[in-house]
Chains A and B, each alone.
Chain A
Amino acid sequence: VQALVQLLIGGVLQGGIYALGAFGLSVIFGVLRVLNVAHGHYLMLGGMLTYWLYTAWGLPPFAAVVVVFPVFFVGGLLTERLLIRPIAGMAHHEFLVASILITLGLALAIGDLTAFALTQPEKGVDYLLPPLRLGGVVVSSLRLISLGIIVTLTVVIHAFLRWTFVGRALRAVMEDREGAMLAGIDIQRISMVAFGLGLALTATAGVFFVMLTSVYPHMGIPLTLRYLAIIVLGGVGNLPGALLGSLVLGLSESLVSFYVGAEWSLTVGFLLLIAILLLRPRGLLG
């Protein structure tokens, strides 16, 4: 029981961490039709910033969320303005090619520059809290607090999308771009917000990554692919789907690496994805 509870908590937590980034990727794709290849690299940068705040300023990792989120929100606004806006007028296929070249180029440059700047590229934060005892089961309080923050963030984002004007405009653009434009929604502004939100979310996931495992410069692209798997699993442009997909992948990874072997966790995750796509070609909730 002890092991299973640990595995389930670990799986749900991993799923929650995935969900932040996958959610961000899904929002960016839904609003801008850009597959942000550099998405995983921003998670890594978020983790690096957390590490730096902790070692240089003594800021506890949980508090780093308050810095990381706005910093990368602004970073996202700038990235959209400088790199995506100029190509927004292109024809469909050209836009697809250009957006992939640009975000891939950005990803390679970010990874390479980070590796170049650090003498010891793999970073982790040793931040420990006494474990909790619930009944007969020992649970890491670090993981529980992380999970709490992630759940809170998810609820806040949900409320933002549901009840604020910008949030509703964002959903409208995802659902029907032309319709939203006709209704007078400023697509350029919404696009900037979507990119900012997407990067802020994935960078925030980096805070938990650096605390619970570690981050390193070239982790980005495999991570982006995992995010991509998640949003396809849940249904592209479908935000609750991204959450569900994250939980499925997080749990399957956690269970498979314990019962079968860590090297199989990715394979099983992807086989699961194929199986689900064969049954439901538009994703779980698509």
Chain B
Amino acid sequence: VRRWAAGLGLLAVAAIAALPSLTASTYVVAFLYSVFIAAILAQSYDWVGGHMGYLNLGHASFFGIGAYTFGILFKTGQPLLLALLAGVLLAALFAVAISYPFFRLRGAYFALATFVPTGYRLYHAYYASLGLLAGLVAATAWLAGSRLGLALAASAAVAGLAGGLYCWNLTYIIPGTVFGLDVAVGPIVMAMLGGSGTIVGPVLGALVVDVIREALRFHTPHLALTIYGGMLVLVGLFLPGGLAEPRRWRRLARRLAGGER
């Protein structure tokens, strides 16, 4: 089964990779690009959020750090790869630095504390996080060896990379888009919707959410968020394990068919 899955995955990747040369529409490419970024974020969020069970509301801050580091370096004429790498490193370092104090916290405490770095002022949010980092790094770098610390660092590195990639395609970024609530909540919703703690769940969730959002934007510009919110409620009520969990689907089908509880 695993070989099948890997083969199918490779095929899908090849098909998607070939897509830009097959279609002339930049719209499709741009849309998929945004799905990729979202999926990378959801997947990397889930390393800590799903597989280790910590609700990390601050994932967006890694994304934002990556985006800003990249943006500032790239704009001042540094080579592309160096700028990307710097973003990744800084995001990971930041994660290592915060992992020591934050993993001591449990449950809701953790969820809250990790939200902190999400700010809204252009350079302020960036430097505030950086200042925090500098203060904490010296005392806590040795904790990088812990399993949780490593997972968070890896998850942050990927998010930082996503941030850099995201920024690359834009002429400017503002803190609202890279540190904002949408980025903070988006990956969590996507991972949960697709199936938190499963392998393909977060990617599936990102695809579904982005397709739905795009479709809603076209067809019902007004109540799009209401419909989206209503769908989240329905998934929460009936498919809490996420879309990628077949057992739930079967149970739901049986319930609808037989009316049995």
Q: Are B232 and A108 in contact (CB under 8 A)?
A: yes
Tell me the A104-145 residues at the B interface (CB within 8 Å). 104-113, 116
Main SS class of interface, A = helix
Task: Choose from A99, A111, A221, A231 the contact partner of B236 (Cβ within 8 Å).
Answer: A99
In the bound assembly, the distance between CA atoms of A277 and B230 in angstroms comes to 36
Q: A159 — which chain B residues lie within 8 A by C-beta?
A: none
A270 at the interface (CB under 8 A from B): yes
Let me know if B108 and A108 touch, CB within 8 A. no
Contact digits for A202-245, partner B, Cβ 8 Å, 1 yes 0 no: 00000000000000000001100100110110001000000000
B236 near A112 (CB under 8 angstroms)?
A: no
Does A101 lie within 8 Å of B108, measured CB to CB? Answer: no
Is A90 in contact with chain B by the CB < 8 A criterion? yes
Contact, CB under 8 Å: B121 / A105: no
Counting CB contacts under 8 A, is A153 at the interface? no
Q: Are B240 and A94 in contact (CB under 8 A)?
A: yes
In residues 79-99 of chain A, which contact B (Cβ within 8 Å)?
A: 83, 86-87, 90, 93-99
Chain B residues with CB under 8 Å of A111's CB are 225
> Which residues of chain B (37-78) have a CB below 8 Å from chain A?
53, 55
CA distance A80 to B175 in the complex (A): 36
Total chain A interface residues with beta-carbon distance under 8 A: 48
Interfacial chain B residues near A102, Cβ < 8 Å: 232-233, 236-237
Asked if B20 lies at the interface with its beta carbon under 8 angstroms from chain A, I say no
Interface pair B240/A108, CB less than 8 Å apart: no
Contacts of B229 on A, CB cut-off 8 Å?
Answer: 104-110, 112
Q: Return B124 CB to nearest CB of chain A, in Å.
A: 7
Interface residue tally of chain B, by bracket? 35 or more
B109 near A109: Cβ-Cβ < 8 Å:
no
Near A by CB (< 8 A), chain B positions 60-116 give 101, 104-105, 107-109, 111-113, 115-116
Residues 215-239 of B, flagged 1 when their CB comes within 8 A of A and 0 if not, give 0000000111110111111111100
Q: Does A183 contact B (CB under 8 A)?
A: no
Contact mask for chain A residues 25-59; partner B; CB cutoff 8 A; 1 contact, 0 none? 00001000001000000000000000000000000
For residue B128, CB closer than 8 A to chain A, the reply is: yes
Q: Is the CB of A113 within 8 A of B185?
A: no
B17 to chain A, nearest CB (A): 32
A228 touches B236 (CB 8 A): no
Closest to A86 in B: B237
Give the Cβ gap from B129 to chain A, nearest Cβ, in Å.
10
A67 to B226, CA, bound (A): 27
Q: Which of A101, A266, A274 contacts B189 (CB 8 A)?
A: A101
Which residues of B sit under 8 angstroms from A105, Cβ to Cβ?
228-234, 236
A267 at the interface (CB under 8 A from B): yes
For the complex, what is the distance from the CA of A225 to the CA of B111, rounded to whole Å? 10
Complex Cα distance, B193 from A277, in Å, reads 31
Given A102-B233, A112-B224, A267-B124; A87-B116 close (CB under 8 Å): no
With A90-B240, A97-B192, A102-B236 already in contact, the answer to whether A273 and B108 are too (CB < 8 A) is no
Judged by a CB distance under 8 angstroms, whether B160 is at the interface is no
Is A281 an interface position by the 8 A CB rule? yes
A94→B111 CA distance, assembly (Å): 17
Q: Is the CB of B116 within 8 A of A274?
A: yes
| Pairwise interchain contact B230-A101, C-beta atoms closer than 8 A | no
Alpha-carbon distance between A267 and B236 when the two chains are bound, in angstroms: 33
Contact between chains at A35 and B226 (CB < 8 Å):
no
User: Which residue from chain A places its CB closest to the CB of B105 in the assembled complex?
Assistant: A281
B128 touches A97 (CB 8 A): no
- Report whether B228 and A108 are in contact in the complex, using a CB–CB cutoff of 8 Å: yes
The answer to whether the Cβ of A185 comes within 8 Å of any Cβ in the partner chain is: no
Residue B187 at the A interface, CB < 8 A?
no
Q: Is B163 an interface position by the 8 A CB rule? A: no
Give A269 Cβ to nearest chain B Cβ, in Å: 10
Chain A residues with CB under 8 Å of B181's CB are 221-222
Q: Given A35-B111, A263-B124, A277-B109, are A101 and B235 neighbors across the interface (CB < 8 Å)?
A: yes
Q: How far is the CA of A35 from the CA of B229 in the complex (A)?
A: 16
Bound together, the chains give a CA A50 to CA B236 distance in angstroms of: 31
Contact call A116/B104, Cβ cutoff below 8 A: no
> Beyond A98-B240, A99-B236, is A104–B189 a contact (Cβ under 8 Å)?
yes
Beyond A97-B236, A105-B236, A273-B113, is A278–B121 a contact (Cβ under 8 Å)? no
Cβ contacts A to B, 17 pairs, < 8 Å: A93-B196, A96-B55, A100-B192, A100-B236, A105-B228, A106-B233, A112-B229, A221-B185, A229-B112, A232-B109, A236-B107, A263-B124, A271-B116, A271-B132, A273-B113, A278-B101, A281-B109
Contacts A95-B240, A99-B236, A104-B232 aside, 19 further interface pairs with beta carbons under 8 A come to: A86-B237, A87-B240, A97-B196, A97-B236, A97-B240, A101-B235, A102-B236, A105-B233, A108-B226, A110-B229, A116-B223, A225-B112, A225-B115, A264-B124, A266-B119, A267-B124, A271-B132, A273-B112, A274-B113
Give A contacts to B, CB under 8 Å. Answer: 29, 35, 83, 86-87, 90, 93-102, 104-113, 116, 221-222, 225, 228-229, 231-232, 236, 263-264, 266-267, 270-271, 273-274, 277-278, 281-283
